[in-house]
Every structure is written in C-alpha cells, then in structure tokens.
Structure 1
Amino acid sequence: MHIHNLSEDNSILNTFISELRDVNIQKDSMRFRRNIERIGEVLSYEMSKSFKFKNQEITTPLAKTTVKTIDSDVVLCSILRAGVPLHNGLLNYFDKAENAFISAYRHHKENPDTFEIVVEYLACPSLEGKTLVLADPMVATGQSLLATYEALKPFGTPKEIHLAAVIGAQEGVDFAAKHFPENTHLWIATVDKDLNNKGYIVPGLGDAGDLAFGQKLQH
C-alpha cells in the first residue's frame, strides 16, 4: 500500500486537525463537520495529482485552448454516518463522481471490549474499471474499511482504489496495508500511535459520529 500521511508536511491542514481534537472547539458540531469537510477537500486535491489526465479543448471568450482534465470515472463510497462530512468534502472537488453509501458499525456482544463489524445498508453503482475512493474518517482497527471493501466486491473490480481518512492509528493503517491490494493508496491527514483497550484511537478526537451528529443509542 502507498501511504500518504499529509501531516508529515506543515500546512493549514494541521490547523483543521487541531480544532477537531480540541475538546473546547469540537463542541461546536457545525464547526466540527466543516473541519472534516475541509480535510476532505485537502485530501481530494492531493489525491487528484495521482489520477490519470487527458487533454481537452475548450473555448474561452477570446480563443480556443487546451487544458488537462481528470480522465477517471470516480466513485466515492463513504461509511455512514461519520463519513458524511468527509464525503461532502470529497464531492466538493470530485463533483462529477458517482456515489455509494454503506453502513458499517461496531456491534458489541457480551464483552464491551470486543466487537464485530456489521454491514446492513449498501447502495452502490458498478465499480468495474473505475476509480474507487473509499472514505472513513477514523481508521482505528481498520476492520470497518476491510468489511466495506469485502461488501463492495460484488459490484465489480475497480481499476484503482484510494482510501481517504482523517485520523488513523498505526495498527489500523498496518492492518489495511496487509489486507488491501498492494497498489492501493491511503490518503490520511494524520496517524496516531496507539489504540486503547476499547479500540479507540489515542490521542484521537473521540467519537467522530457523535461529535458531528449527536449521541446515539447503542445496539
């Protein structure tokens, strides 16, 4: 897997990440969602540099000219519900993309410290020969990304796979690198060192879905 950790270079992206983490700032759910959306836009810009381009002739008010435009059929797939703001940021840049949505959540059994990933809802176009961008804001264990990828396989084989994430734990990044095709690209805003005993990223930022949309009742 090709890993692009954008926090390794100093940029305005680091400000967005710091505001997502800050317990005082993140209480503003609208600002929290917007910061995830802005990170999605930064990831899209960087990701786009790796796409295939073609020459296209256009007409301006003064003359004809040739520009380079993306020559890829992009499908954006986001994991509900925390993935919605990230999806919006990606869609702001890849505005002609097709879209897919999938629900994948942690189902805790008798032991609250263990869980399985449950996929219940999926809406997806054909992926055959297309560029799949799979978005999940938090890559903790990496199991949600893998469960989503497995659920998408009946819809065709993508030409390219790109993963877009805000924060990941090193363990989750390593897990994804082990289970996704070798030529997969991971575009991530920052990578944290640890997971706690409940599988949450440390220092992380908390529960992205709850911070963006309010607390939920547990299954």
Structure 2
Amino acid sequence: MKVHNISTNNSIINTFISELRDISIQKDRLRFRRNIERIGEVLGYELSKSLNYKTSNVSTPLGECSVNLLDDDIVLCSILRAGVPLHNGLLNYFDAADNAFISAYRHHQENPESFDIVVEYLACPNLEGKTLILADPMLATGQSMLATYKALLPFGKPKSLHLVSVIGAQKGVDFISDAFDADTQLWIGTIDKELNSKGYIVPGLGDAGDLAFGEKLQN
C-alpha cells in the first residue's frame, strides 16, 4: 500500500489539524466540523492528482478551450457518524460522485480493552469498475476500515481503492498496509506514533464523533 502522509511537508493542513487537537478550540463544534471538512478538501485535492483524466473541449464565449477532465467514476463512502464532515469535504471537490454510507462501531465485550467491529447500516451503489474512496477521520487500529471494505465487497469489485483519514496511529497504518492490496493508496493528514491499550490514538484528538456532534449514550 502506498501511504501519502501530507504532514511530511509543511502546508496549511498543519493549522487545521492543530485546531482539531487543541482542547480549547475543539469545544466549538462548528469549527471542529469545518476543520475536518477542510482537511477532506485538501486530501481530496491531493488524491485527485493520482486519478485518470481525458481531454475535452469546452466552448467559451470567445472560442474553444482544450482541458483535461476527470475520467473516473467515483464512489465516496464514509463511516458514520464521525465520517460525515470528512465526506462533505471530499464531496465538495468530487461533486459528481456517487455516495455510500455505512455504520461501523466498536462493540466491547466484558474486557473494556477488547472489542469487535460491528457493521449495521449500509447504503451503497454498484462498485464494479468504480474508483472507491473510503473515508474515516480516525485510523486507530485499522479494523473499522477493513471491516467496512469487506462489507462493501458484495456490491462489486472497485477498479481502484483510496483510503482517506485525518489522523492515524502508526500501528493502524501498518495493519491496513498488510491487509489491503499493494496498489491501495492511503491519503492521511498526519500519523501519530502511539495507540493506547484501549485502541485510541495518542496524542490524537479525542472522540471525533462526540466532538463533531455531541456525546452519545453508551449501550
């Protein structure tokens, strides 16, 4: 798997990520969601450079203009609920894309430090021959990303697969590097070194879903 870690080069994405992490700034839910959305836009732009294009002619009031336009059928899939702002950022740039949504959550057993990934709701178009962009803002263990992809396989085999995350743990990146094909590409804002015993990224930013949409009751 090819990993594109955007933080290896300085850019404005550093500002957006620092505000997501900052415990005083992240209390503003609107700003938190918007920062994730803006990171989605940056990652979408970088991702777009790797896609396929074809030459088309555009008529202007003064003549004809030749331009290279996107030639991939794209499907955006996000993992609910934290993935919604990231999905919106990608959709701002891939506005003609089809869309898929899936719920995947951690189901803890008696041991709070162990969990299974449970997939419930799923809405998806045909994926056969499409370019699939799978978005999840926090790439912790990598298990949610893999479980989501496996749940999508009955809908067809994508031509290519791109994974998009805001922050990841190195352990999770290593896990999906082994789990996905070599031609899969990961586009990520930054990678943190640690994953704690409960499977949370350190320093990370906390629970992205709660910070974006409010705390949830635990089952």
Is the structural similarity TM-score above 0.5? Answer: yes
Alignment TM-score, normalising by the size of structure 2: 0.99
Larger mean Cα displacement after TM superposition, 108-117 or 126-135: 108-117
Distance 2:61 2:22 in 1: 48
Structure 2 match to 1:82 = 82
Q: Deviations over 1:130-167 (max 9, x none)?
A: 00000000000000000001000000000000000000
SS of the counterpart of 1:206? Answer: coil
What is the identity, as a one-letter code, of the residue corresponding to 2:158?
P
- Equivalent in the alignment of 1:63: 63
- Residues 204-213 or 105-114, more deviating: 105-114
Alignment partner of 1:91 is 2:100: no
Residues paired across the two proteins, number: 219
Residue 184 of structure 2 corresponds to which residue in structure 1? 184
Give the letter for the 2:132 counterpart.
Answer: L
> For residues 1-219 of structure 1, what are the structure 2 equivalents within 5 Å?
1-219=1-219
Cα distance in 2 for partners of 1:113, 1:95 equals: 40
- Provide the secondary structure at the position in 2 that maps to 1:95: coil
Give CA-to-partner distance per residue, 1:65-109, whole Å, 9 cap, x none: 110110000000000000000000000000000000000000111
RMSD: 0.4
**4+ long deviations beyond 6 Å:** none
Q: In the aligned structure 2, how far is the partner of 1:130 from the partner of 1:78?
A: 16
**Pairwise CA distance, 1:181:** 1.2
Aligned-residue offset at 1:111: 1.0
Q: TM-score, normalised by structure 1?
A: 0.99
- The whole-number CA distance in structure 2 between the counterparts of 1:135 and 1:209 is 14
Gaps in structure 1 of 5+ consecutive residues = none
* In structure 1, distance between residues paired with 2:218 and 2:110: 13
Q: 2:127 & 2:214 partners in 1: Cα distance?
A: 32
- Compute the displacement of 1:113 (Å): 1.0
Query: Which one-letter code corresponds to 1:64 in the other structure?
Result: E
Instruction: Work out the CA distance in 1 between the residues paired with 2:54 and 2:162.
Output: 20
One-letter amino acid of the counterpart of residue 150, structure 1 = K
Letter in 2 for 1:124: C
Return 5+ residue gaps in structure 2 as ranges. none
